[in-house]
Every structure is written in C-alpha cells, then in structure tokens.
Amino acid sequence: MDYLNFGNQKMACDEAAEFIANSLAIIGLERFQSIQIDTKKDSITIHFDNQEDAQVTSIICGESDSKVLTSKKFQTTNVQAVMAALVNCALQSASC
C-alpha cells in the first residue's frame, strides 16, 4: 500500500480522504459525493453535488483550471497542496 506524507504523518488513501472531508466540513463544503485519492499519481478528485462548491474548493486550493467553471468536479495532481490549503482555510474559519 502506498502512503501519502503530510507533515510528519503517513496516511493511507482512506485516511487522507477522511482528513479532507473533515476539512471541507469545517469550511462548510459538506455536499460532495466522493473523494478519490491516488497516492501513486498524487492526484485527488472530489465530486461535488453542485458546481459552486467545486469552484470554491478550486479557489481555496489556488487552482485556476477553467474546467472547474463548468463542472461539479474538482481535480488536481497535488494532494499535499490541497490538504494544506484546506487545513489553512479551516483553521482561519474556526478562529473567527
């Protein structure tokens, strides 16, 4: 099994997906169908219930892919960057 390194932790795909789901929930982006992580390709795909949540996630993560503008899917090839961006945003929203 391949693991994802985040900070000083090693996470399996399901652990990383749960971590991301919790971060999204803190931010208020709870309406998604699935989170798929491929540690070998360092890729993540989140299928949202609506296009707006995919766009907000894209903005939070600093992704400017125009495909997200017309899709309910957020996809990128840098899982660690997504995790860091979501944690940062979650920490900021939790401190307000």
Per-residue CA distances from 96 to 1, 84, 92 (Å): 39, 19, 7
pLDDT of residue 3: 86
This prediction has a pTM of: 0.88
The closest alpha carbon to 46, from 6, 12, 13, 17, belongs to 17
What does the buried/exposed string (b/e) look like for 47-85 if buried means 16 or more CB atoms within 10 Å of the residue's CB? ebeeeebbbbbbebbebeeeebeebbbbbbeebeebbeb
* Per-residue pLDDT tens digits of the chain, which is 96 residues long: 588 888 889 999 999 999 999 999 999 999 999 999 998 899 999 999 999 999 999 999 998 765 666 789 999 999 999 999 999 999 887 765
